[in-house]
Structure 1
Amino acid sequence: MTVHFIGAGPGAADLLTLRAVRLIATSRMCLYAGTYLDAEVLSHCPADAELIDTQHLDLDAITEHLVRATNEGWDVARLCSGDPSVYSAVAEQARRLDRAGVPWDVTPGVSAYAATAAAVGRELTVPEVAQSVVLTRAQRDSTAMPSGEALGSFAATSATLVLHLAVRHTRRLADELAEHYGADCPVVVGSQVSQPAELILRGTLADIADQVESHELRQAAVIIVGWALAAEGFVDSHLYSSRGRTPFPTV
């Protein structure tokens, strides 16, 4: 029996992969974080599945459920918001399962930042504007950041910046980032993207904090900062342009 860490996407039931739906439909137990998930996602679970909301459980309590289920001979769907490769605590859970001798695997999902970019119809890597995307988070009230991963260092590159777990600190972060990008740099905040309560805020580093605070956003939101969000008149990608291409030799 296996614990399946499954990327549940940004929340919408129809943004799950086919593999994710198959695994959920064949798992006798499903653990999920109710804070980040549209309840419709759980409609893919078997009628007799044991459903456990983990939003108030610590990692040890979650592990106990996972181990218990596999001891019962059940497969488990452990739903992770977005994609399991980013801020999902899969690493911490997986090492506990390894110690308990419980097999596990990972199924990727749609990340919240990708869903937010889709919602506003923007590519985050625009030719000669921004060719890198940095995924990071706020440091205050959370695990310390590794040495060298200062927000200012990332911002100094002018890459498109994606901030997770940071919406409560929008004003402080906007002030800091404005020193690098400029106060008029565009910002998008996506809250519960793809769910019925979806909220998209568009602004700049100068005004986005006011918008976030007026909507009382405290969680389940991603912040995207960068000039790619408003790029116009940029050159075509080299891949699709004749500019600079070496012609095929003639015979």
Structure 2
Amino acid sequence: MPIRAGSYIQGLSLDFFDTLVTVDEDRPSMATMLTSLGFRCTDAMESIWNTHGFDGQETPSYSSVPDYLSWRRTNLAQLAASSGVPAHLIGAVVEKLEENDLSWTVKANPGATELLTFLTTHEIPATICSNWDYDLSPYLRQAGLPDEFPCVISSFVGVRKPATRIFGEVARQLTLPPHAILHVGDSAEADVIGAIRAGMQPGYLRSERSTLTLPPALVEVFPNLYSVLDFLRVRLSLS
């Protein structure tokens, strides 16, 4: 669905990581950490069991039984076992992996504060739609962004982008039809393809780590968040 001049935008959906924020203080990957502990693990092995390996799929949620964190710990235990961690050490290693995962921080990307302030000031229906393991509020505070901004988080919904159901939850929360929502993110697969399949207007935030091979007529490409803000000002006739 190309975003042409006549397209009617009433609301905005924004990806979180590598769109609104980026890494502030990084930590080793799970594969690197397991290797440093003396076990054999590669990035490909990690991708089997870490949550990004389940993109596009249904998962447990925080309110399901078993809940999301239990499901994730089971996956991390499988990762540890496949890396050669002895059975009696798996619990302790999983704890270390979780501690490491919770220790890195994020910072706002240029334009993020201005964009969220613009949306709030003009009362434009908007939400953050993220594949994320935890509540986003602490990470929003780390980045100096409003921590009460509406969010649709995969681990709370029980499905990961690019599955269309999570975009359907965005439309439900915004009380808008999908075609009236612009979804902007940095992932061609999770954000652009997911938005197109869900009937939303796709926006691609260009980054160094991902590439877009779709024709320009199908998706609006933004070099940064300031350009998203300028686009909305023009499209919504707001200053």
Interval containing the TM-score (normalised by the shorter chain): 0.3 to 0.5
More contact order relative to length (CA 8 Å, sep ≥ 6): 2
Q: Which has the higher helix share?
A: 2
Considering only CA atoms, is the larger Rg found in Structure 1 or Structure 2?
1
Name the one with the larger strand percent: 1
